Amino acid sequence: MASELTAPVETAALAAEVEGLLDSAEPEGIYRDTRECGGGLLLAALLLISPPTPRAPKTDAR
């Protein structure tokens, strides 16, 4: 087993990696919603006091 000769250095680095994989941080949540009905709200779908407000891309509107 040739690999065992390099073991001390390699193993130290790997041990840290093992720890990292075992106790991994939670990945950032990926939230993505359907593009269906995302943009053009038809008048027929006008929802008064009802589900979605017209949420045009107003946050970046300016």
Partner 1 sequence: MTAGPAAQGAAPPSPPPGAAHPDAELLDDIVAGALRWLEAIRPCFRLPPDAATDADPNTTLKPLGELAELAHVMQTLHPLPQVRAAAAELFAFAWKETRGGELFAELVRGEPVATYPVELYGVFARAGLRNPAAEELIAATTSLVRWRVAREDHTRTLGVLNAERRIGLPEHTGFDRVLALTGLGLRPEPWALDLKAAYGLTHDVFHTADWGRSPGRLPAPLADYLRLWLPAWTETWTEERLWDLVGEFLAVTALLPGAPYDPAAWRRLAAARGADGALPERGDPPPGDAPDGERFTACYHSTLVAAFAATLARSRPPQPQSPAQSDRAAPRTTAHGGRPAGSPDPGGAAAEGPGNTLRGPADPRLPLPESEATP
Partner 2 sequence: MLAEQAQENSSLSTVVADVANGVALALDGEGGSYALSALLAQDDAVALAAVRVLGADVLAPYALGAPPGGGPDEQVVRKALAAYPPGADASEVSVWSYRGLVEASRAFLPAGGDWPDTPQAGAAWLQTDPWPRLTHRASQLAALALPGLAPALAAGLAARTEDLARGFVRAVRRRDWLQAAGAGRWLARVPDVPQSLGLDAGLVYVRRMSGGDPRVALHAAAARRFHLRGPR
- In contact, 41 and 54? CB cutoff 8 Å: yes
CA-based nearest residue to 40, from 52, 50, 48, 49: 52
Residue 45 binding result from partner 2, partner 1, none, given CB thresholds of 5 to 8 Å by partner type:
partner 1
Cα–Cα dist 33/38, whole Å:
9
Q: Which of positions 21-40 make contact with partner 2 (CB under 8 A)?
A: 21-24, 26-27, 29-32
Closest contact distance (angstroms) between CB of 11 and partner 1 is 36
Locus of tokens 């946050």: 59
Q: Which residues bind partner 2 (CB under 8 A)?
A: 1, 3, 6-7, 10-11, 13-15, 17-19, 21-24, 26-27, 29-32
